[in-house]
Structure 1
Amino acid sequence: MRTASQDDVCEVACVHPEAVTRVRAALPDAACVEDATTLLKVVADPTRFRILSALNTEELCVCDLAAVVGISESAVSHQLRLLRAHRLVTFRKEGRIAYYRLLDQHITSLIGGAVDHVRE
């Protein structure tokens, strides 16, 4: 990470009141900020991110996820419970098999956007 240099800071102290007012009005409320940062903390775990990335490709059962991510089925199940609790994934049962997928397009965009950003 870069540190601030003289080139990337303001050389004079000035506040643009109209801009500050517009941006403050557009900011999410405290509860929304708390929920969003909690969501990002959940996603930030490497194992959970790999699970979410796999599910961003296609729906998978717990056994398939364990094989893809390289951890035990028990560990995958534990992570999936946490991801479900935070409304990141959902599942459907087909007989005795549980198939998981990302909950919605917001999560798909979040995972895809993070990967695209670091690949640039």
Structure 2
Amino acid sequence: MKNELVMAKEKLLENEFGTEFGSFGLSEDGLRSLVQNVSETAVLHELAKRYGDLMLLKFGSRNVLIASSPDMAREFLKTNDAVWASRRELAAAFLYLQGYVKQMKELHRNFDKAKREADKNFVQGTW
């Protein structure tokens, strides 16, 4: 009797991609070990053949929209360029730094200088 990992790998290599992963209860590391000998482009190619040029995949807690054809990529990158460029700024970062931008820049400059000195000392062996 084959173990669950071997059965999952066989299903993967038979182009049974997508939601079937969840039925095996494999972790992200388990999935990574399954596909380590299969190139990412081959996996994406098989997914595109099965599900079409536009796919919404879930990687952990993130949803990733994949446009797998040049025409679909052009549609997103060229046609919707104005939409992407006119997105709102991240309000949380603005509110967090509101009124303290000058101090934040100064802190960044000081930290950057100290980091460069530490790197220089480390390379010279005087650490």
Fold-level match, TM-score > 0.5?
Answer: no
Larger radius of gyration: 2
